[in-house]
Structure formats: C-alpha cells, structure tokens
Structure 1
Amino acid sequence: MAKIIGGITTSHIPLIGKAIDQGLQQTPYWKTFFDAYPPIHDWLEEEKPDVAIIFYNDHGLEFFIDKKPTFAIGAAAQYHNADEGWGIKPIPPINGDQELSWHICNELVEKEFDITICQEMRVDHGLTVPMQLMWPGNQYEHMKVIPVCINVEQHPMPSPKRCFDLGKAIGEAVESYDKDLKVVVLGTGGLSHQLDGERAGFINKEFDLYCMDKIISEPEALTSLTIRDLVEEAGAQGPELIMWLGMRGTLRGELNVLHSNYHIPISNTGAGTMLIENKE
C-alpha cells in the first residue's frame, strides 16, 4: 500500500527562483534562507520518496481571476512551467502520476469535495520554486508530482478547516492506493506577508512561530481561524497558511519534527521551513 512518509513546509516566493537562476544562494541576503534546506535534501536522498503531493496556489499563470476554482488537482502526465515575467528561465517539465491522481480525485468526489480535475495544467512559482528548493539543480526527473492547487488569490477562499479536511481526505486516498509507494507532501507559501496596500511589508513573527508550533501540536487551533483572522494576523497574503493545513491534514501517524527554521525578511515574507516525519 502507498504510505505518506512525511511533510515539508516551504516558502514559494518567486524571487527565490530568480536567486537560484542567478546563483545567488550564498550571497549575504540569501545565505541564511538557503542554508535551511540541506537537512531536507539529506532526508529526501535517504528516504527516496516516489511521489510528491504539493499544495500550492496559482498566481495567474493557469487560473486568472475570471476563472478561479477553489480546489484544482492535476491529473496530467507532465506539468510545464512558463515565463511569469520575472526573467527566470522556465524549469524542465515535471512528471505526473496519472494513476494515483485519478485515484485521489475519485476518492475526493466520493467524499463530496467539489474539485476541478486538470488533465493539462501549467504550474507557476507556487510549485516550481519548492521543486527547485527540494531538488537543487532541477534533479527531480525521478519524482512524480501531484499538484493540489487551492484558491488563495480571490475571495471567497476556502476556510482553514476545509483545507485541513481536504488534506485528511487526500491522506486517506493515498493510504487506500494498492501500490507500494513512498509519498511526501509539501505545504507551500507564507507565512505572514502583505505585498500591497496600507500594510505593505507587514510581518507578524509572533503569529508565524505560533502557527509553526500549532501545525504540529494542535492543528485544531488553526482550523478554528477564519480567512479574515488570517488576513488580520498575517497580512493580505497570510491565508497561504491553508496550504500548510492541507499538508498537515494528510499526516495521520506520530509526528516528529526533524528540522525547523524561520527566517525574515525574504521579499517581505516570513519564511518558515519544517521537515516532519510521519511515523507509523
């Protein structure tokens, strides 16, 4: 049977992709941020997962404000990146796992989740930056990826509890899959940040660290929050925490935090990185 071996949280700021593209990882501005990832690289190399399920949000490449599904899941053989206007070269295609994707989609619909199933899907920095951070040098050709895209751009957005429940349902679907696969789940985005308006540049370190604690010890404390709460506490883009909650919902075993790091400021965003082992 398929098994979820762990979860990873990571920022997906587009400027990270540009730093990678220009080889700036060890410059003073970026070094502390990138130095948080080698322990994750070592764990991925040791565990060798077959599939990565990635909770992320699209920023207008595939879904613009005229058509914005609440939940969209990829069921494609490959996922392609495109130029988003940052002057970053698109990364190589990312391989999908169509069979597992369809299994998850069928299970979600059976559990009354209304999802958009995408047999073609372009992926932006919300997904590509985490791929580059997890597998430096774009060395991810051995991995299969299932994108889970959540609306965090246009109101109304799904509640933290709904996203946690989505993660639970995806975790149950993976566990019911009859192939021996090792699956890692990524929750991307955030933490606190506001990119525009009167509070542009707003970061709430205290709230970010609270979220990093509660995501492990008491996720119900976060699922009781509303989207409005997240905007007030973490800025207009703070609701990206719901991707973390999607990841957390998939983890059902005893959890062990193998690595944790918090760093500000990177592109006016609180960047939280965690490696969570999901024990049986």
Structure 2
Amino acid sequence: MAKITAGIATSHVPAVGAAIDMARTDDDYWKPMFQGYEFSKSWIKTNNPDVAIIVYNDHASYFGMEIMPTFAIGVAESFEVCDEGYGPRPVPSVEGAPELATHLAASLILDDFDLTVLNVLEVDHGLTVPLSLMYGTPDKWPSKVIPLAVNVVMYPQPSGERCLSLGKAIRRAVEEFDEDLNVQVWGTGGMSHQIQGARAGLINLPWDQKFMDDLIDQPEVLQYKPHLEYMREAGSEGVELIMWLIMRGALGDKVDEVHRFNHVPASNTSVGHLILTPKEGDA
C-alpha cells in the first residue's frame, strides 16, 4: 500500500529561482532566506519520497485566458520546464509517475472532483522553485513528481473547503494504490504578497503566522476563510495559500511539526515554509 508520509509547504517566489540559478544564494540579501531551508535539504536526504505530489499554480505560462482548469493533474512520463518569457530555468526536466497519477485521476474523478487530465504539460516556477529549495541543484531530481495544478489566477477560484476535501480524497486514493510507495504532498505558493496596483509589496507577517498556526492545529477553520479575506489581508496573490490546504487535508486530522520557517522579504513576498508529518496512529 502506498502511504503519505509527509507534507511540505513552501513559497515559490520566482526571484528565489533566479537567485539559485545565478548562484546568488550567499548574497547578503538572500542568505538569511536560504538558511531557513538548510534543515529541509538535510531532512529530505533521509526522508526522500518515491513520489511527490506537488500542488502548484501555473502563472499563465502553460495555461492562459483560453484554458484555465480549476484542478489539473499531469499523468505523463515527464514534464519539460516552460519558458516564462526569459527562457526556461536551467533545471532538470521533471520525471512523472504515470501509474500512480492515472490511479489518482481515476479515483478523484470518481470521487466527484472534476480534474483535467494532462498527457502533455510544461511546468513553471510554481513547481520548479520548491524542488530547487528542497533539493538544490542536482543533475536529476531525486524523486518522481505528480504535478497538480490549481487555478488561483482567474476568478472563480476553488473554495478552501473544496481544497481541503481534495487533500482528504488524495489521501484515500494514495492508500488504495497497490504498490509500496513513500508519497509526500507539497503545497506551494504564498504567503502574503501583491505584485500590482496601489498595494504592491503588501506583506502581512502576523496574518501569515496565524495562518500557519491554524493550518497545523485547526485546518477546519481555514476551509471557511473567504477569498475576500485573503485579498484584503494577504494581498491579491495571497489566495495561493488555498493550495496549502490540499497538502494539509492529505495528512489526516493531527500532524507533527518537523520544521517551520518565515522570512520577510524575498523580492516583495513573505516566505513561509513547513514540514509536517501525520501524527502516528491518526486515521
């Protein structure tokens, strides 16, 4: 039986990817942020999953105004890195897990989640930056990946309740897969940030920290947080945090906090990062 052994939450700031690619992680500006991931890079060496289900959003790189699925899952053998306007990031292509991904797609659709199934997909910084933060700069990513894209770009976005429920359904589906696999679920994006308009550069660290507290201890409260609150308190891009709810739903009722980190600012963003594991004995 496959099993979800951990959940990882992390921001996926594009400037972080650029700092890694340009070997600027030791610069005075960036070094404090990257130090917060040193524990995680060490931890994952001894807790590396066979498959990481990475919940991310496309930033109008592969999808766009013409097609923007609410939830989409990649089931291909591999996924190339897309050009976001300045060339693809110089990172490895992403190896898929088509058997588990196809099982997940079937299970979730039969569980009444209307997923778009993607046999071809290019992934952007929303997925590759978390891989870089956890794994550094390898020649090949150490785990297989199932991309799970969520629309947090165009109205209407899915509700927090729907996202938490999707995470719970992912856990059920993984545990029904008849292969002994170590699976992690990564929720990416956030935290508070706004990249345009009069409030560009907005950061609300107290709100971010309360969100992390609630995510760990009472995610059922967060599922009812309205999108308007994300926009008002965490900026127009703060709604990306609903993707963390998918990760949290996949871990069960109770979790143990392995690592927690906040840093302000990275570019114009509040960076947040968590490693959580299901509490032993939790059903």
Shift of 1:27: 0.8
Hey, what's the Cα distance between the residues in 1 that align with 2:77 and 2:54? 15
Contact 2:217 2:254 in 1 (8 A): no
1:36-75 map, 5 Å: 36-75=36-75
The runs of at least 4 aligned residues of structure 1 exceeding 6 Å deviation read: none
Q: What is the TM-score with the length of structure 1 in the denominator?
A: 0.97
Hey, what's the Cα distance between the residues in 2 that align with 1:84 and 1:210? 33
Aligned to 1:99: 99
SS in 2 for 1:80: strand
Shift of 1:4: 0.7
Hey, what's the Cα distance between the residues in 2 that align with 1:274 and 1:140? 24
Per-residue deviation, residues 82-137 of structure 1 (Å, max 9, x unmatched)? 22124564422110000000110111111111110001100000001111111111
Hey, what's the Cα distance between the residues in 2 that align with 1:52 and 1:40? 15
Contact 1:18 1:88 in 2 (8 A): no
Q: What is the TM-score with the length of structure 2 in the denominator?
A: 0.96
Letter in 1 for 2:79: Y
- Cα 1:253/1:6, change in 2 over 3 Å: farther
- Cα 1:86/1:34, change in 2 over 3 Å: farther
Contact 2:135 2:141 in 1 (8 A): no
SS in 2 for 1:66: coil
Letter in 2 for 1:109: I
Aligned to 2:19: 19
Hey, what's the Cα distance between the residues in 2 that align with 1:247 and 1:24? 30
Letter in 2 for 1:74: G
- Cα 1:3/1:253, change in 2 over 3 Å: farther
Aligned to 1:252: 252
Hey, what's the Cα distance between the residues in 1 that align with 2:29 and 2:87? 20
1:210 aligns with 2:206: no
Hey, what's the Cα distance between the residues in 1 that align with 2:134 and 2:244? 16
Aligned to 2:243: 243
Aligned to 1:234: 234
Contact 2:192 2:208 in 1 (8 A): yes
Aligned to 1:3: 3
Hey, what's the Cα distance between the residues in 2 that align with 1:88 and 1:11? 19
Hey, what's the Cα distance between the residues in 2 that align with 1:179 and 1:53? 16
Contact 2:62 2:82 in 1 (8 A): no
Letter in 2 for 1:201: G
Q: For structure 2, which runs of at least 5 residues remain unmatched after alignment?
A: none
SS in 2 for 1:137: coil
1:200 aligns with 2:190: no
1:35 aligns with 2:29: no
Contact 2:92 2:140 in 1 (8 A): no
Letter in 1 for 2:24: L
1:156 aligns with 2:167: no
Hey, what's the Cα distance between the residues in 1 that align with 2:230 and 2:18? 28
Contact 1:21 1:88 in 2 (8 A): no
Hey, what's the Cα distance between the residues in 2 that align with 1:234 and 1:140? 35
Shift of 1:195: 0.6
Aligned to 1:111: 111
Hey, what's the Cα distance between the residues in 2 that align with 1:132 and 1:217? 28
Per-residue deviation, residues 67-91 of structure 1 (Å, max 9, x unmatched)? 1000000001001002212456442
Hey, what's the Cα distance between the residues in 1 that align with 2:253 and 2:165? 16
**Root mean square deviation, CA, Å:** 1.3
- Higher alpha-carbon deviation: 32-41 or 132-141: 132-141
Hey, what's the Cα distance between the residues in 2 that align with 1:89 and 1:110? 36
1:73-84 map, 5 Å: 73-84=73-84
Identity level (%): 46
Hey, what's the Cα distance between the residues in 1 that align with 2:83 and 2:63? 15
Hey, what's the Cα distance between the residues in 2 that align with 1:86 and 1:213? 37
Aligned to 2:263: 263
Shift of 1:278: 2.0
Contact 1:82 1:90 in 2 (8 A): no
SS in 1 for 2:220: helix
State the number of aligned residues.
280
Hey, what's the Cα distance between the residues in 2 that align with 1:144 and 1:254? 26
Letter in 2 for 1:192: S
Q: For structure 1, which runs of at least 5 residues remain unmatched after alignment?
A: none
Hey, what's the Cα distance between the residues in 2 that align with 1:253 and 1:234? 26
